[in-house]
């Protein structure tokens, strides 16, 4: 179901030589301008796509050769070596609903940076004389990809191509990387699972979050065949729940909703249980956490006052300082914007704590105090905070624990 593009935002603001990200706004419906803008992106930049139909070359066929303009990651500047683990990009449709922005024949294949793709639609269609179909999203190289409020449609593959281990087409493929799918719909067209050999998402990576999303029309909705092997012999429950968060989804419209050993998936346990007066002390960054690299927990903890229904509470650091701070405030060069989401049902507003030393380290030469602000989708309002035992403490403005939090100075 479509959601509005605006998101609730909570931001604490702090300065000296802080660098504002560049916002690249694409000409509506202009694929050439989109490619041009992607060629200019730098760390922490934003690419905005106004409503329109962005239709890429549908004549390209890999069996013949040539140039495929729909490979959007290929249009971006090359990022090589370990720094790409910290290279960030936000790509967002600016329509009121995700179907306002349609990318036809476009793919995101190994962007080698942490990317959030938000509020748009991707359509994979047969191209060239042989009718080849590209996977719309493939993630590798240790980075993270977030699909938020995104719609993806792929055709049914009845005559398999690119078959491997009995899997003949995957809408999303996660290799040595991390991925998250939130508030999104991924479906085959038509969504009739008996017609083809499609898989919605195959995970071979280092972590996956699927929250409140729909996979429909696939032989396998989610394929965890590979990751399960790592947990079957000696299941580490803490490690499993740290890396895999699968909650609140509709997987019923697939032949096999989840292909994984139930003795492993039954170990999934949400981090926000029913109860009151307790702390959730450890949060991974859904976009970046990777056990193969130095990936510490986020400098955040939450004091839950009352939870009526258990659920999973998640956080990730947004790639860019967008929406932009109000006049008189500047983001740190590494934006301290944090997106909060939860499938739990809260009875009261919760307290959020940011570790003071970690936050201040993002602002070289920091001195003075921070200003906390809340964004309602159009405007900013101030939110009070206090210093509490080495932590900045705020009360989250929404009982639902859904919104974005960041940090700056005036």
The CA-CA-CA angle for residues 366, 371, 372, to 5°, reads 130
* Residues lower than pLDDT 50 in the chain: 2-7, 14-17, 83-84
Q: What is the pTM of this model?
A: 0.92
How confident is the model at residue 17, as a pLDDT?
46
Burial grade of 69 (CB within 10 A; 0-12, 13-18, 19 or more): middle
Beta carbons within 8 Å of 258's beta carbon, 6+ residues apart: 220, 221, 222, 224, 246, 251, 265
Q: For residue 250, which of 153, 185, 192, 188 has the smallest C-alpha distance?
A: 185
How confident is the model at residue 72, as a pLDDT?
95
Task: Please list the alpha-helical segments (H only) found in 190-273.
Answer: 225-232, 237-243, 262-265
How confident is the model at residue 83, as a pLDDT?
46
What's the token pair of residue 272? 């926000």
What's the token pair of residue 147? 């699909």
Q: For residue 83, which of 126, 142, 31, 26 has the smallest C-alpha distance?
A: 142
What's the token pair of residue 40? 């200019």
How confident is the model at residue 8, as a pLDDT?
52
CA distance 408 to 375: 14
How confident is the model at residue 198, as a pLDDT?
86
How confident is the model at residue 14, as a pLDDT?
46
Q: What are the backbone angles phi and psi of residue 182, rounded to the nearest 5°?
A: -130, 130
How confident is the model at residue 395, as a pLDDT?
95
How confident is the model at residue 178, as a pLDDT?
86
DSSP structure class, residue 27: P
Residues 47, 91 contacting (CB under 8 angstroms): yes
CA distance 58 to 64: 13
Using CA atoms, how far residue 87 sits from 31, 320, 335, 388, in Å, is 24, 11, 12, 32
CA distance 405 to 383: 11
How confident is the model at residue 34, as a pLDDT?
98
Query: Three-state DSSP class for 301?
Result: strand
Residues 353, 389 contacting (CB under 8 angstroms): no
How confident is the model at residue 368, as a pLDDT?
74
How confident is the model at residue 51, as a pLDDT?
98
Distinct helix (H) and strand (E) counts, the chain: 6, 34
């Amino acid at each position: 179901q479509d959601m509005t593009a605006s998101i609730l935002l909570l931001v604490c603001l702090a300065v000296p030589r802080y660098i504002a990200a560049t916002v690249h706004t694409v000409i509506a419906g202009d694929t050439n301008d989109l490619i041009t803008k992607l060629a200019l992106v730098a760390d922490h930049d934003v690419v905005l796509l106004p409503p329109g139909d962005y239709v890429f070359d549908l004549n390209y066929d890999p069996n013949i050769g040539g140039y495929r303009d729909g490979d959007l990651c290929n249009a971006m500047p090359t990022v090589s070596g370990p720094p790409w683990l910290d290279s960030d990009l936000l790509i967002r449709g600016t329509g009121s609903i995700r179907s306002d922005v349609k990318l036809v024949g476009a793919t995101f294949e190994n962007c080698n940076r942490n990317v959030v793709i938000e509020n748009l639609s991707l359509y994979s269609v047969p191209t060239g004389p042989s009718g080849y179909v590209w996977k719309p999203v493939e993630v590798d190289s240790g980075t993270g990809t977030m699909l938020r409020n995104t719609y993806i449609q792929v055709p049914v593959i009845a005559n398999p191509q690119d078959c491997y281990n009995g899997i003949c087409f995957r809408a999303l493929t996660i290799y040595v990387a991390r991925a998250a799918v939130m508030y999104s719909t991924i479906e085959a067209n038509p969504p009739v699972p008996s017609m083809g050999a499609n898989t919605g998402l195959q995970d071979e990576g280092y972590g996956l979050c699927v929250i409140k999303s729909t996979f429909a029309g696939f032989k396998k909705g989610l394929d965890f065949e590979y990751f399960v092997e790592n947990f079957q012999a000696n299941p580490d429950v803490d490690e499993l729940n740290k890396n895999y968060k699968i909650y609140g989804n509709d997987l019923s419209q697939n032949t096999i909703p989840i292909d994984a050993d139930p003795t492993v998936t039954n170990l999934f346990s949400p981090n926000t249980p029913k109860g009151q007066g307790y702390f959730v002390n450890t949060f991974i960054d859904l976009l970046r956490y990777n056990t193969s690299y130095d990936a510490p927990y986020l400098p955040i903890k939450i004091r839950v006052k009352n939870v009526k229904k258990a659920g999973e509470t998640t956080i990730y650091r947004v790639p860019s300082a967008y929406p932009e701070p109000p006049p008189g405030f500047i983001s740190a060069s590494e934006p301290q914007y944090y997106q909060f989401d939860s499938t739990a049902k809260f009875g009261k507003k919760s307290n959020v704590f940011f570790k003071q030393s970690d936050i201040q380290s993002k602002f070289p030469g920091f001195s003075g105090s921070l200003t906390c602000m809340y964004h309602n989708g159009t405007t900013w309002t101030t939110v009070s905070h206090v210093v509490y035992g080495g932590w900045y403490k705020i009360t989250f403005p929404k009982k639902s624990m859904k919104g974005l939090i960041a940090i700056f100075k005036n």
